[in-house]
Chain A
Amino acid sequence: MSNVPSNLKYAASHEWVLKNADGSVTVGITDHAQEALGDLVFVELPEVGAHYAKDKEIAVVESVKAAADVYAPIGGTVTEVNQAAADAPESVNADAYAAWLFKMTPDNMADVDALLDAAAYQAVADAA
């Protein structure tokens, strides 16, 4: 059973989003996503300063098995990336909620609130 923390928001495309006190959000892939992909061997992070529209391909995670796009769960500008996750892709398998991928400043904070809550995402993951 995959782990779906209740303090996070989720996109149906399997990203998690954490609201930070400074108005930014932290984004990663869910435990369900890492488990479905299997052992990760490569993470490609976005460029700091780049702007992405909601649902645009923003990062790539690759396992031994397959490559998967990570989509921008909301529109916004990338403010920071987690190079440690790119240097050690297996850290995402070990703890998908600790090994975040990037931080964004949302174009509109209401977009974050409109994302799925844990129960709604659990239903998406169960159906996948």
Chain B
Amino acid sequence: MLKKTVLNAAHRALNARMVDFGGWDMPVNYGSQIEEHHAVRNYCGMFDVSHMCPVDLVGADCRPFLSRLVANDVAKLTVSGKALYSAMLNETGGVIDDLIIYFLTDTRFRIVVNAGTAEKDLAWMQAKAAEWKMDVTITQRRDGDNALGIIAVQGPNARAKVWSVLPQAKAATEGLKAFFAAEVDQYFIASTGYTGEDGYEVMLPAGEAESLWNKLKDAGVAPCGLGARDTLRLEAGMNLYGQDMDETVSPLDAGLAWTVAMKDERDFVGRAALAANGQQKQFLGLILLDKGVLRGHQKVVTAQGEGEITSGSFSPTLQQSIALARLPLGVAIGDEVQVDIRGKLLKAKVTKPVFARNGKAVQ
């Protein structure tokens, strides 16, 4: 039995093509994935991401708990509302999940974790809080009486569209720089996203999500499925958990070194393993020079040895196939490599792992 978000009926009413996404019945597109992709880059689109799981932390020990729990350093969160992207590691330095932490007060934080990993994340957090004897109460907000829905509104017109349907939110959110959140009445509005465009992720009581979805649709915001979400995040060079990294992959080998704070002596789970193993691979971009489509698990042949594509697709913005890949150390940006596609070796160029953001190609 597939799980359904509170917007399931709304998707079906729009004739969405629904797929089993990690046990959730989710829209992959509402007609054309490519049109939805362009809508977000050029105007404004919205995604139902209510399958993702908000987790509220309350208690005196929120900071010391998070300081040990995740690889990035919550000491960077000094201003109320600020958000931090981090990996949560196991003892061997593998990635249990990647998540966003929102700092509200010193005794109240909100974390948003991936849909497919929510249960194991919660179990891990509860176990660590008990083991470390931390005063922190951990509560999931995806299911049950206090469930939240999440609608991501993304694109250059996203802020104006949200204000047009939630005018009461304008004053508190118009000054938000990227990666902040504001609470307005029952709405939690964050300037975060997974597309490389400006916009908001709006969390609200689940029962109100369909009404907001329909108002945004009536305001001209394009409903977009998980297909477009994937090509948008791939162009933006954002990692996808389970594809680009998992419990067997170090964040240092997944392009996430920038999220691992090792400068001071802070003790966090996985630190010793990261320090012992160091970086083994590089996480870089590929643009296919021949005709075809790069896909996850394809083998990459380089002068320094073999690598592997972790995510690949066609880029609607570049009109070429692009990929994220784990490649041997020593491969340089600009190198020409070969990708094994169905037994044929096709030419690709190594790039920085980012292809398009803010409406434009960056390669």
Contact = CB atoms under 8 A, between A and B. Distances in A.
Contacts of B293: 41-42, 62, 67
B292 interface: yes
Contacts of B115: none
B32 A39 contact: yes
A64 interface: yes
A64 B313 contact: yes
Contacts of A65: 28, 33, 227, 313
B295 interface: yes
Please indicate which of the listed interface residues A39, A60, A64 has the most CB atoms of chain B within 10 Å of its own CB.
A64
A39 B34 contact: yes
Please indicate which of the listed interface residues B34, B227, B231 has the most CB atoms of chain A within 10 Å of its own CB.
B34
A49 interface: no
Given A38-B17, A39-B34, A64 B227 contact: yes
A60 B33 contact: no
A42 B314 contact: yes
Interface string B337-355: 0000010000000000000
B255 to A, nearest CB: 22
A64 B291 contact: no
B295 A67 contact: yes
Contact of B34 (A42, A60, A64, A67): A64
A26 B291 CA distance: 24
B33 A38 contact: yes
B33 A42 contact: no
B314 A64 contact: yes
Given A64-B34, A64-B231, A64-B314, A38 B29 contact: yes
A66 to B, nearest CB: 8
- Majority SS at the chain A contact face: strand
Contacts of A42: 291-293, 314, 321
Interface residues of B, number: 18
Interface string B31-51: 011100100000000000000
A64 B316 contact: yes
A40 B34 CA distance: 10
A117 interface: no
Contacts of A67: 293, 295
Nearest to B316: A64
Interface string A2-45: 00000000000000000000000000000000000011011010
A63 B32 CA distance: 11
B342 A38 contact: no
A119 B353 CA distance: 49
Nearest to B292: A42
Nearest to B319: A41
Contact of A39 (B33, B292, B342): B33
A42 B293 CA distance: 7
Interface in B308-325: 313-314, 316, 321
Nearest to A57: B342
A64 B225 CA distance: 13
Contacts of B291: 42, 44
A38 B227 contact: yes
Contacts of B342: 60
Interface string B281-297: 00000000001110100
23 contacts: A38-B28, A38-B29, A38-B32, A38-B33, A39-B32, A39-B33, A39-B34, A41-B321, A42-B293, A42-B314, A62-B293, A64-B33, A64-B34, A64-B37, A64-B227, A64-B313, A64-B314, A64-B316, A65-B28, A65-B33, A65-B227, A65-B313, A67-B293
Given A38-B17, A38-B29, A67-B293, 6 more contacts: A42-B293, A62-B292, A62-B293, A62-B314, A64-B231, A64-B314
For the complex of A and B, 9 pairs with smallest distance between CB atoms = A41-B314, A62-B293, A39-B34, A42-B293, A64-B314, A64-B33, A39-B33, A38-B33, A64-B313
